[in-house]
A and B are shown apart, each in its own frame.
Chain A
């Protein structure tokens, strides 16, 4: 039973990874704060490859703990922070700490909930957290919200020409 639950969780995390495709570097900005965030995401990648979850978490925590510059566009700030909270939540969930994951997913979602993939990613990882906490109906609510965002983005994509600018939360 537990094995099945974790198998389902793994499947959901794969989905979360799919949703996260291209998000880490989606925010292009010359701000040193953004550059530092990208450096820390790259460092977290390295730490994870070395099975050093704690090191990866430390690298990512440095992003959310540093104050963002006041002149940074609000959406850019939100995108960087939400992407970081998403990654933190994933790491915590993989480390079998759903309570910490839930906290970080909620922190990310508290920054704003426009219809973009940053928010969809957070909803997916929070849904997986609810499943890990044996609250499947609540997971379905978050998954469905994430699905609606993807559906909205698809409708927009079908309406715009192929060479239009990428939408927030997607690879440029």
Chain B
């Protein structure tokens, strides 16, 4: 949501901000618009700072918890598939094995995407 708001504000403030760069004669800009642009720009910078802080927080995942859950998922998947191997083809256990394998792979991928160490 903050990212969206920042983007909206960025778009809203782009045109006035360009005025400050001299693309248009300053005399054509009423003072009230310039003040509004300054305020919008300040707000944009504030939100950008907040967004960076939020991103930094999100970039520090709890790898201990993620790794534990990932390992639980994959250990259970391995167990289910071992059982499935001993069941007749087409059994519901085989379906559970397939689902479990997918979830294990997703868990591994998600943990890796967060930069968490492998098992």
Total residues of chain A contacting the partner, CB 8 A? 32
- Establish whether residues B66 and A157, one from each chain, have CB atoms under 8 Å apart when the complex forms: yes
* Secondary structure call for the B interface: helix
Say if the beta carbon of B57 comes within 8 Å of chain A.
yes
B84-106, CB under 8 A of A: which get 1 and which 0?
Answer: 10110001110011011001000
Least CB distance from B61 to A in Å reads: 6
In the complex, A21 Cα to B100 Cα: how many Å?
22
- Establish whether residues A139 and B83, one from each chain, have CB atoms under 8 Å apart when the complex forms: yes
Given contacts A21-B68, A140-B93, A147-B103, whether A158 and B87 have CB atoms under 8 Å apart is no
Say if the beta carbon of B51 comes within 8 Å of chain A.
no
Say if the beta carbon of B107 comes within 8 Å of chain A.
yes
Which 7 residue pairs are nearest across A and B when measured between Cβ atoms? A154-B69, A147-B76, A150-B72, A140-B93, A144-B96, A162-B62, A140-B83
Interface-facing stretch out of A12-20, A45-53, A63-71, A81-89: A12-20
Say if the beta carbon of B82 comes within 8 Å of chain A.
yes
Query: Restricting to A37-55, which residues have a CB under 8 Å from any CB of B?
Result: none
Looking at B68, B79, B103, B110, which has the most chain A CB atoms within 10 Å of its CB?
A: B79
For this complex, 13 residue pairs linking A to B, each with C-beta atoms less than 8 Å apart, are A12-B79, A15-B76, A136-B87, A136-B93, A140-B83, A140-B93, A140-B97, A141-B96, A147-B76, A150-B76, A154-B70, A161-B58, A170-B65
* CB nearest to A155 among chain B residues: B110
Say if the beta carbon of A118 comes within 8 Å of chain B.
no
Say if the beta carbon of A153 comes within 8 Å of chain B.
yes
Footprint of A on B, CB under 8 Å? 57-58, 60-62, 65-66, 68-73, 75-77, 79-80, 82-84, 86-87, 91-93, 96-97, 99-100, 103, 107, 110, 114
Footprint of B on A, CB under 8 Å? 8, 11-12, 15, 18-19, 21, 120, 124, 127, 131, 136-137, 139-141, 143-144, 146-148, 150-151, 153-154, 157-158, 161-163, 166, 170
Give every chain B residue within 8 A of A131 (Cβ-Cβ): 83
